Structure 1
Amino acid sequence: MLDNLLILIVSGLFSGFLAGLLGIGGGTVLVPLLVTLGYIPVQAVATSSLAIVITSLSGSLQNWRMGYLDLQRVILLGSPALITAQFGVYISNLLPDYMLLTSLGILLIINVFLGNLRQRLATRPTSTSTKTAKIFPIIARLGTGGTAGFLAGLFGIGGGVIIVPLQILFLEETLKIAIQTSLGVIVMTTVSATIGHASQGNVLFPIGLILGAGGLVGSRISTSLLPKLPNRVVQFCFCGLLAILAVYTFWQAWQSYSRT
């Protein structure tokens, strides 16, 4: 029991550290770790959602105090996510364990390419508007927020790695505004996902609270470290970690499939 508690504390610290350092939502790390500890995938997804609520809420409150959080943007993007998160929860309860893990592995691989896309978009000259943003603003916001919500419910991730490039591409937001807004949206998506999973009895509340508390500490440490690291080093660590986690998640999926 004590060993598991220590592992959970370290896991929370590690996921928070990576979230602050690489911009990776804690769920990409926590879900595989919880499955390794013996929890079924849907419990890992649900409990990860609770942990992310804590860390994203802390970051959003800090942005709000500093005047960097536009609540109108957050509400417009987060509102559709409240609904689509429930669809993700529903599907996660229907999928066999190996299919849920395989899908998460595929998402991690996609995130590698999206992370590279985000880096390129960050250096792109920004304009005040685009044809897409002018003509289809409601569709763009519904699609962006809805995607984040669905992924939060299905995989127990915040969706920041995906929603940030979508905001830049379709809503013409700067990288900084996109990151700050996405963190607020993640609060809404993960709260919705946690409520949905809790109604199904999937959330392990003591474990989620421990992981979330550890994530708070870890993210504060990495946030102070990040400015000192070269961008190339950060990008290499980002892609390398996601690739390793994807391979490991595929292996867990195969193990789960072999037991069926």
Structure 2
Amino acid sequence: MAAASLAVGFVVGVLSGLLGVGGGMFLVPIFKLGYLMDSLMCTATSLFTIIPTSISGAVSRIRNRTCVPKLGIAAGLGGAVTSPLGVWLATQSPDWAIMGTAALVIAYSATTMFRKALAVPKGPAFQKGGAGEGSSADGPIDVGRRQLLLFAGIGLVAGLASGYVGVGGGFIMVPMMISLAHLSMRYTSGTSLIAVMILAVPGVVTQAVLGNINWIAGIAVACGSVPGAMLGARLVPKVPERQLRFLFAGFLLVAAVMLVVNQFAAVA
């Protein structure tokens, strides 16, 4: 089981570092099917594993300058406010409601990302921003008060979802950042990782106090996800913008299907 945990963690970590998600969309069903945890423990353990994974990816992204730290911090602080509320709602909800909500929201985010990917013309769609805070396909990124408030609002939504379904919130933040802030996928995914790193903390503390975390399983998976996230972050410059968006959308669809199959298996 230890070897399997390391392997699962490594794959999830690569996807996290590359796409800017915490990996909880895969971890929740894996913990439920592979470790036979109840839904609440799955979400709690997933949320715990997300923190070291996202820290590893975020540090690499900051070094590679494929993120906008100020905006990531703003989103993370916004999410930290609502994450405990999401945890509380999860403790009041039946298993089917938690998993069903996660599947629906993830599927919606996937269709949004597919549309965004199709809108990107083939060929070079990303313009490097040099040593600055970052840039999108449309030019330099404005990191003024308006953008900070926008990203804090995005974080509020993501934090609620993060605490409720036990994921990092990147599955909501990435599509919202692209749609509302017009950030390129390369910078969006890195910025999302910084936010995930921050907003998951209050939810994990709350789950730990409630005694819902399976520490052994979480640490075992994290041992694989930390180096995986570092590798994923290094792969970002090698993948074109259009392919990154399609990859993210496909990742979301697979995660939604896994959650639905997992819920039907539990009912049966």
Task: Give the aligned residue type for 1:110.
Answer: Y
Which of these residues, 44, 47, 60, is aligned with residue 46 of structure 1? 44
Residue aligning to 1:27: 24
Q: CA deviation at 1:31?
A: 0.6
Find the counterpart in structure 2 of residue 160 from structure 1: 170
Q: For residues 25-67 of structure 1, give each alpha carbon's deviation from its aligned partner in whole angstroms, at most 9, with x where no partner exists.
A: 3111111100002011111111111111001111222334456
After TM superposition, give the deviation of residue 198 of structure 1 in Å: 1.0
Q: 2 CA distance for matches of 1:238 and 1:129?
A: 22
Residue 70 to residue 127, structure 1, CA distance change in 2 (3 Å): closer
Q: CA RMSD in A?
A: 3.2
Does residue 198 of the first structure (1) align with residue 208 of the second (2)? yes
> Aligned residue for 1:107?
105
1:70–1:229 CA distance, 2 compared to 1 (3 A): closer
Counterpart of 2:13 in structure 1: which amino acid?
A: G
Q: 1:238 to 1:80 in 2, by over 3 A?
A: closer
Which AA in structure 2 matches 1:8? S
TM-score, normalising length: structure 1: 0.81
CA distance in 1, matches of 2:243, 2:73: 35
Residues 43 and 63 of structure 1: CA distance in aligned 2, closer, same or farther (over 3 Å): same
Q: Secondary structure at the match of 1:151?
A: helix
Q: Distance in 2 between matches of 1:232 and 1:71?
A: 23
Distance 1:166 1:210, change over 3 A: same
Change (3 A) 1:251 1:110: same
Q: Which moved more, 1:154-163 or 1:27-36?
A: 154-163
Does the 8 Å CA contact 2:45/2:214 hold for their aligned counterparts? yes
What is aligned with 2:129?
A: none
- Is residue 222 of structure 2 the alignment partner of residue 212 of structure 1? yes
1:140 matches 2:150: yes
Q: Distance between the aligned counterparts of 1:135 and 1:220, measured in 2?
A: 31
Query: How far is 1:104 from its partner?
Result: 1.7
Deviation at 1:172, TM superposition (A): 4.6
Q: Which structure's residues are more often helix, by fraction?
A: 1
Whether the aligned pair in 2 keeps the contact of 1:26 and 1:158 (CA below 8 Å) is yes
Cα deviation for residue 170 of structure 1 reads 2.8
Q: Partner residue of 2:14?
A: 17
What is the number of residues matched between the two proteins?
A: 253
How far apart, in 2, do the equivalents of 1:228 and 1:251 lie?
A: 33
List aligned pairs for 1:1-260, cutoff 5 A: 4-37=1-34, 38-66=36-64, 70-119=68-117, 120=119, 126=138, 140-223=150-233, 238-258=248-268
TM-score, with structure 2 as normaliser: 0.79
- Structure 2: any 5+ residue segments left out of the alignment? 127-135
Letter in structure 2 aligned against 1:211: V
Does the CA contact (< 8 Å) of 2:21 and 2:193 recur in 1? no
Specify the code of the residue in structure 1 equivalent to 2:263. A
Q: What is the letter of the counterpart of residue 63 of structure 1?
A: R
In percent, how many aligned pairs have the same letter? Answer: 25
Distance, in Å, in 1 between the alignment partners of 2:13 and 2:205 is 22
Q: In the superposition, relative to structure 1, how do residues 172 and 240 fare at CA in structure 2: closer, same or farther (>3 Å)?
A: closer
8 Å CA contact 1:164, 1:179 repeated in 2: yes
Q: 2-side partners of 1:229 and 1:247: how far apart? A: 25
Q: Which deviates further from its counterpart, 202-211 or 37-46?
A: 202-211
Q: Which amino acid aligns with 1:248?
A: M
